[in-house]
């Protein structure tokens, strides 16, 4: 194959479609170059070479050196400089770049090709020795870190010492001779740490750097990042070798990063930050406070520093033109890197920009209006999971806010939690179920596990494009960045906020939309959904084939579900009603009665309450289908705990407490989840299901009369494994219905079953004779298919995931090979004996985008999920259909 793909001078061998081979960065550079944007020339070594390199213990495929030499000489021709030449040296960057963007995870080396001889050439040629030695010291430090494995703090210490001794404060205050002194010390440090000299031969530098980038694919933080983002470890990274351009050549030079639209709100304006007289990573690293690109951005961040729009108006205009060109070309919002060398703009990177859910909605809708994308594309643009961010509570505007500090509104959303200062501590406490706010001076790729675990993130340094801001937006974590009034002391685990001291474990609240930090816990309210949400979800609804229902047990669940677009209730769990205060005693009385008479007496107390619950739900759902599941959990869940509760029950039933105690012992089970539960209760204690059925049908009849709309009720029998179970219970329901429902009453009922046991899936053909619908209860079906208890899986499932024994947690994404196979079998056999069988899925999986896609593929009619996940399911179902 071809290993090397050159780009530059308005041409390129590669293009945007070649991400797999060239990585995102390489493909973007090729594409930008080919459409005539100003890109410094260079070449990309493919991801296939990385794979070869890692499989063959660091060997390269034969012929690679010749290809690299040829591509390098083309770059020399285009730039008029020569690699290693002391008078006109060509300098290059060696940049990693995988198929999926992994910001900051792998390594990049800038200014490669400098040595003791070429640095002189760079000084003369640029007429700026300070610049030349500044570039050299950057190169030495990066090369030592990335290639020779010498920690960068050694170099930071040397530089700091030099600045202190000479009384200098900013890096830009150092002169050429200062840098020469620093360089000498750097080289000595390298000899001391590595036992060898910093390599002077540029070709050796180049090949060492290429190898280091390939190796960085396997470093620990890259591996973690890939795991968190479901990126395959097999893809490998490409290497981009590119002629350097310099943003550190004085005050008419700069470097920056920008988004083609505001990534937090979606507003259609260039949005970003830059630094004058700086190179590469200075902007992201937070060493100096970056300046805004637009005047509007400057005002909104209350920054006193001038915007690029004011300082370099021509370059700004050019950048704005590039923004339009790229957006039109890619049809999406872009995240770009650029450098200005002595007034000339160069583009160094473009990729699809990460954005908040709110911004994603707005950008998708705006781009449809602008004619840039179709509605289908708009529907595909928004990640269903990200909708969580929009639906979750925000701070109550009426609540008191004791604002203690302000920073940049880096990632929207509100969060309260305990202060922690390290990623490890954040992870530890989150595992214990605590909510934490991770407070850092700045974050780095080593902190991602903690950012993931935290409810919110605060940094005291860095801007809107700092690592913390970018990663938090990507993860949907609220983040306040650059809150410079806070000073953090990691040693004592305290932070000082305008003279007030806060310690680890104190509670704070942050608002990532306003950039405020507040002490204590501020109450939250339901957010208002933006108009773009309604539009986009409307397009999704027109496209999906799956119905979306909600798992809703209470009137308030039902209201929320309707508001979020549910078409009905797919699962109403009646046991939750049993727990309500005032009823639990009667329920306990019923369970503990040891005669049928006793049970009936107790059930009579429960009946009117259940009837009212159901009536309320039917009223709210107003003719939309409501599926009610008869009592499912093992009776032991309702048993009284302790003496006081036992006495209560004894009193209510008018029996001796000793009798209650005996019954409690009798009802207890060794393995209740596989015990006396579900339809087994209905078979052994028919009066329970009879009472529930009566409550349902009487409520339906009542509401049907009130509303003059037909009440659609589906009675669902849980935990069936044998056809006879459902047959017996269906007969019971039909008999009751005959008794309760008269001709003119507006009730339409059906009886169906959950498919949540492997035997039921396999016998679906028979069971379907008795059931007019199936609902796959994939929580139990996953437990019983794997023989795995959900509550006990935590101790070994993570190991299984880490070692790749299973691809993902089967309780999160449906296990398509095992559980999914049972679903397929049940669908096929069920439909064969009853072609109009209705098929739904009502486990947790109903609100998981990946699993919804599976439901679409196997041809279910609908999914049902918790109200907050209804929009996720609607969007995921539309995406599955496109």
- Residue 575 annotated as lining a ligand binding site: no
Instruction: To the nearest 10°, report the CA torsion of 182, 188, 192, 197.
Output: 120
- Residue 777 annotated as lining a ligand binding site: yes
Q: Rounded to an integer, what distance in angstroms lies between the CA atom of residue 325 and that of residue 35? A: 9
Shortest distance, CB of residue 91 to Mg ion, whole angstroms? Answer: 18
Q: Which does 245 bind (CB under 5 to 8 A by kind): Mg ion, ligand ADP, none?
A: ligand ADP
What is the length of the chain?
Answer: 882
Residue 409 or 633: which CB sits closer to Mg ion? 633
Helix H or strand E segment including 271: strand 271-276
Greatest C-alpha distance within the chain: 104
Residue 107 or 516: which CB sits closer to ligand ADP? 107
Q: Which does 242 bind (CB under 5 to 8 A by kind): ligand ADP, Mg ion, none?
A: ligand ADP
Shortest distance, CB of residue 213 to ligand ADP, whole angstroms? Answer: 9
Choosing from 714, 756, 815, 853, the residue that interacts with Mg ion (CB under 5 A) is 756
Chain residues 779-818 in contact with Mg ion, contact rule CB under 5 A: 780
Q: Are 80 and 88 in contact (CB under 8 A)?
A: yes
Site for Mg ion contains 273 (CB under 5 A): no
- Residue 629 annotated as lining a ligand binding site: yes
Alpha-helical segments (H) within 331-466:
357-369, 375-381, 388-391, 423-431, 448-453
Q: Which does 704 bind (CB under 5 to 8 A by kind): Mg ion, ligand ADP, none?
A: none
Q: Rounded to an integer, what distance in angstroms lies between the CA atom of residue 146 and that of residue 166? A: 29
Q: Where are the beta strands (DSSP E) in 9-112?
A: 11-12, 42-45, 92-98, 108-112
Shortest distance, CB of residue 635 to ligand ADP, whole angstroms? Answer: 59
Task: Please indicate whether residue 813 is annotated as part of the active site.
Answer: no
Select the residue whose beta carbon is closest to ligand ADP and give its number: 280
Looking up tokens 């005002």 gives 299
Site for ligand ADP contains 465 (CB under 6 A): no
Looking up tokens 């205060």 gives 581
User: Candidates 148-156, 241-249, 488-496, 768-776 — which segment interacts with ligand ADP by CB under 6 A?
Assistant: 241-249
Residue 451 or 781: which CB sits closer to ligand ADP? 451
Residue 342 or 622: which CB sits closer to ligand ADP? 342
- Residue 583 annotated as lining a ligand binding site: no
Q: Are 384 and 407 in contact (CB under 8 A)?
A: no
Helix H or strand E segment including 329: helix 313-330
Looking up tokens 């029996």 gives 655
Site for Mg ion contains 565 (CB under 5 A): no
User: Candidates 479-487, 547-555, 769-777, 865-873 — which segment interacts with Mg ion by CB under 5 A?
Assistant: 769-777
- Could you please report the per-residue DSSP string of 564-621? TT--SEEEEETHHHHTSTTTHHHHHHHHH--SHHHHHHHHHHHHHHHHHHHHHHHHHH
Given the residues 479, 572, 840, 842, the one annotated as active site = 842
751 to each of 629, 733, 761, how far by Cα in Å? 10, 8, 17
Site for Mg ion contains 256 (CB under 5 A): no
Q: Which does 721 bind (CB under 5 to 8 A by kind): ligand ADP, Mg ion, none?
A: none
Shortest distance, CB of residue 160 to ligand ADP, whole angstroms? Answer: 23
Q: Which does 108 bind (CB under 5 to 8 A by kind): Mg ion, ligand ADP, none?
A: ligand ADP
Cα 274–266–361 angle (5° rounding)? Answer: 150
Choosing from 474, 777, 820, 867, the residue that interacts with Mg ion (CB under 5 A) is 777
Shortest distance, CB of residue 309 to ligand ADP, whole angstroms? Answer: 20
User: Candidates 298-306, 547-555, 749-757, 844-852 — which segment interacts with Mg ion by CB under 5 A?
Assistant: 749-757
Lateral strand order in the sheet of 334-341? 291-292, 271-276, 254-259, 334-341, 344-352
Choosing from 33, 108, 265, 763, the residue that interacts with ligand ADP (CB under 6 A) is 108
Site for ligand ADP contains 76 (CB under 6 A): no
Looking up tokens 């090709």 gives 113
Residue 23 or 547: which CB sits closer to ligand ADP? 23
User: Candidates 46-54, 238-246, 393-401, 810-818 — which segment interacts with ligand ADP by CB under 6 A?
Assistant: 238-246
Interacting residues of 845 by C-beta distance below 8 A, sequence separation 6+: 778, 813, 814, 851, 852, 855, 863
Chain residues 310-339 in contact with ligand ADP, contact rule CB under 6 A: 337, 339
Q: Which does 780 bind (CB under 5 to 8 A by kind): Mg ion, ligand ADP, none?
A: Mg ion
Helices 819-833 and 849-858: angle between axes, nearest 10 degrees = 30
Choosing from 8, 28, 40, 810, the residue that interacts with ligand ADP (CB under 6 A) is 40
Q: Where are the beta strands (DSSP E) in 680-729?
A: 711-717
Site for ligand ADP contains 245 (CB under 6 A): yes
Site for ligand ADP contains 6 (CB under 6 A): no
CA 257 to chain centroid, in Å, comes to 23
Q: Which two tokens stand for residue 363?
A: 């950008």
How many Cα atoms sit within 13 Å of 506 on the Cβ side? 18
Residue 242 or 389: which CB sits closer to ligand ADP? 242
3-state helix, strand, coil in the chain (%, to 5): 50, 20, 35
Residue 181 or 669: which CB sits closer to Mg ion? 669
Residue 186 or 719: which CB sits closer to Mg ion? 719
Shortest distance, CB of residue 337 to ligand ADP, whole angstroms? Answer: 4
Site for ligand ADP contains 468 (CB under 6 A): no
Question: Per DSSP, what are the bridge partners of residue 750?
Answer: 714
Site for Mg ion contains 613 (CB under 5 A): no
Q: Are 575 and 628 in contact (CB under 8 A)?
A: no
Chain residues 110-169 in contact with ligand ADP, contact rule CB under 6 A: 110
Lateral strand order in the sheet of 456-459? 403-406, 516-519, 507-511, 414-420, 436-440, 456-459, 479-481, 408-411
Shortest distance, CB of residue 484 to ligand ADP, whole angstroms? Answer: 23
Residue 756 or 848: which CB sits closer to Mg ion? 756
Interacting residues of 664 by C-beta distance below 8 A, sequence separation 6+: 592, 639, 640, 646
Looking up tokens 């996940």 gives 869
441 to each of 464, 490, 493, 724, 737, how far by Cα in Å? 14, 9, 12, 66, 67
Looking up tokens 């400057």 gives 298
Site for ligand ADP contains 280 (CB under 6 A): yes
Site for ligand ADP contains 221 (CB under 6 A): no
Shortest distance, CB of residue 771 to Mg ion, whole angstroms? Answer: 16
Helix H or strand E segment including 695: helix 686-707
717 to each of 576, 631, 678, 767, 830, how far by Cα in Å? 16, 8, 7, 12, 16
Task: Please indicate whether residue 467 is annotated as part of the active site.
Answer: yes
Given the residues 154, 301, 449, 467, the one annotated as active site = 467
Size of the site for ligand ADP (CB under 6 A): 16
Shortest distance, CB of residue 255 to Mg ion, whole angstroms? Answer: 11
Residue 60 or 225: which CB sits closer to Mg ion? 225
- Residue 780 annotated as lining a ligand binding site: yes
Site for ligand ADP contains 209 (CB under 6 A): no
Site for ligand ADP contains 349 (CB under 6 A): yes
Q: Which does 864 bind (CB under 5 to 8 A by kind): Mg ion, ligand ADP, none?
A: none
- Residue 447 annotated as lining a ligand binding site: no
Chain residues 482-501 in contact with ligand ADP, contact rule CB under 6 A: none
- Could you please report the per-residue DSSP string of 170-202? SGGG--HHHHHHHHHHHHHHHHHHHSSPPP--H
Choosing from 93, 334, 466, 864, the residue that interacts with ligand ADP (CB under 6 A) is 93
Instruction: Supply the residues annotated as catalytic.
Output: 467, 842
Q: Specify binding-site residues for substrate.
A: 573, 629, 756, 777-780
List interacting residues with ligand ADP (CB under 6 A): 40, 93, 95, 104, 108, 110, 242-245, 280-281, 337, 339, 348-349
Binding site for Mg(2+), residues?
756, 780
Contact positions vs Mg ion (CB under 5 A): 349, 756, 777, 780
């Amino acid at each position: 194959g071809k290993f090397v793909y050159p780009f530059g001078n308005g041409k390129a061998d590669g293009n945007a479609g070649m991400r797999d081979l060239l990585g995102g960065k390489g493909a973007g550079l090729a594409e930008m170059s080919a459409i005539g944007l100003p890109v410094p020339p260079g070449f990309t070594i493919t991801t296939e070479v990385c794979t070869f390199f890692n499989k063959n213990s660091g060997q390269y495929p034969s012929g690679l050196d010749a290809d690299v030499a040829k591509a390098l000489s083309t770059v020399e021709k285009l730039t008029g400089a020569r690699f290693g030449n002391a008078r006109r040296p060509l300098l290059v960057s060696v940049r990693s770049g995988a198929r999926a963007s992994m910001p900051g995870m792998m390594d990049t080396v800038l200014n490669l090709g400098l040595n003791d001889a070429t640095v002189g050439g760079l000084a003369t040629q640029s007429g700026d020795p300070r610049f030349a030695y500044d570039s050299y010291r950057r190169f030495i430090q990066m090369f030592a870190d990335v290639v020779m494995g010498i920690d960068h703090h050694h170099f930071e210490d040397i530089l700091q010492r030099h600045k202190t001794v000479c009384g200098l404060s900013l890096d830009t205050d150092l002169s050429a001779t200062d840098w020469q002194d620093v360089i000498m010390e750097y080289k000595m440090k390298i000899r001391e740490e590595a036992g060898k000299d910093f390599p002077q031969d540029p070709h050796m530098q180049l090949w060492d750097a290429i190898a280091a980038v390939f190796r960085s694919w396997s470093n620990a933080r890259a591996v973690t990042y890939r795991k968190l983002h479901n990126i395959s470890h097999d893809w490998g990274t490409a290497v981009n070798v590119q002629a350097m351009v310099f943003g550190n050549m004085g005050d008419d030079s700069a470097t920056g990063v920008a988004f083609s639209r505001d990534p937090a709100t979606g507003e259609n304006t260039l949005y970003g930050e830059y630094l004058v007289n700086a190179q590469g990573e200075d902007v992201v690293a937070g060493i100096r406070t970056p300046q805004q690109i637009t005047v509007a951005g400057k005002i909104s961040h209350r920054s006193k520093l001038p915007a690029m729009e004011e300082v370099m108006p021509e370059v700004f205009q050019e950048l704005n033109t590039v923004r339009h060109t790229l957006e039109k070309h890619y049809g999406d919002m872009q995240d770009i890197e650029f450098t200005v060398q002595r007034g000339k703009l160069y583009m160094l990177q473009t990729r699809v920009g990460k954005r908040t859910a709110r911004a994603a909605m707005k950008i998708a809708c705006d781009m449809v209006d602008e004619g840039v994308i179709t509605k289908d594309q708009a529907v595909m643009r928004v990640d269903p999971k990200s909708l969580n961010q929009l639906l979750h509570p925000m701070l109550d505007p009426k609540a008191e806010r004791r604002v203690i500090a302000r920073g940049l509104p880096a990632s929207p959303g509100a969060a309260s939690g305990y202060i922690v200062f390290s990623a490890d501590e954040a992870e530890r406490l989150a595992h214990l179920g605590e909510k934490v706010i991770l407070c850092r001076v700045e974050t780095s790729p080593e902190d991602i596990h903690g950012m993931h675990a935290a409810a919110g993130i605060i940094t005291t340094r860095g801007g809107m494009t700092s690592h913390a801001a970018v990663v938090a937006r990507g993860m949907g974590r609220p983040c306040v960045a650059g809150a410079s009034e806070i000073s953090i002391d990691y040693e004592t685990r305290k932070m000082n906020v305008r003279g007030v001291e806060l310690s680890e474990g104190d509670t704070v609240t942050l608002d990532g939309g306003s950039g405020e930090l507040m002490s204590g816990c501020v109450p939250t309210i339901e957010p208002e959904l933006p108009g773009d949400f309604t539009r986009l979800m409307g397009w999704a609804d027109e496209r999906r084939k799956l119905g979306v229902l909600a798992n809703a047990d209470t009137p308030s669940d039902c209201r929320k579900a309707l508001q979020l677009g549910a078409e009905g209730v797919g699962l109403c769990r009646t046991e939750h009603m049993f727990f309500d205060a005032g009823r639990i005693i009667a329920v306990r009385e019923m369970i503990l009665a040891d005669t049928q008479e006793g049970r009936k007496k107790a059930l009579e107390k429960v009946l009117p309450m259940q009837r009212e619950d159901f009536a309320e739900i039917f009223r709210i759902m107003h003719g939309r289908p409501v599926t009610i599941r008869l009592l499912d959990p093992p009776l032991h869940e309702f048993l009284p705990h302790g003496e006081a509760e036992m006495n209560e029950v004894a009193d209510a039933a008018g029996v001796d407490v000793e009798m209650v105690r005996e019954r409690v012992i009798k009802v207890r089970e060794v393995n209740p989840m596989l015990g006396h539960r579900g339809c087994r209760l209905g078979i052994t204690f028919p009066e329970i299901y009879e009472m529930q059925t009566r409550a349902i049908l009487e409520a339906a009849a009542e509401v049907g009369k009130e509303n003059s709309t037909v009440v659609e009720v589906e009675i669902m029998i849980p935990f069936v494994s044998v056809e006879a179970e459902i047959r017996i219970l269906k007969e019971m329901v039909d008999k009751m219905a005959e008794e309760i429902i008269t001709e003119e009453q507006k009730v339409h009922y059906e009886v169906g079953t959950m498919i949540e046991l492997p035997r039921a899936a396999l016998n679906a053909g028979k069971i379907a004779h008795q059931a007019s619908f199936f609902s796959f209860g994939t929580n139990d079906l996953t437990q019983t298919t794997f023989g795995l208890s959900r509550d006990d899986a935590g101790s070994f499932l993570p190991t299984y995931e880490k070692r790749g024994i299973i691809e993902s947690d089967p309780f999160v994404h449906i296990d398509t090979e095992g559980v999914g196979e049972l679903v397929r079998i049940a669908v096929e056999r069920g439909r064969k004996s009853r072609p109009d069988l209705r098929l739904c899925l009502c486990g947790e999986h109903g609100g998981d985008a990946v699993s919804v896609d599976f439901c679409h593929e196997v041809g279910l009619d609908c999914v049902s999920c918790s109200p907050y996940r209804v929009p996720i399911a609607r969007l995921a179902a539309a995406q599955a259909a496109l």
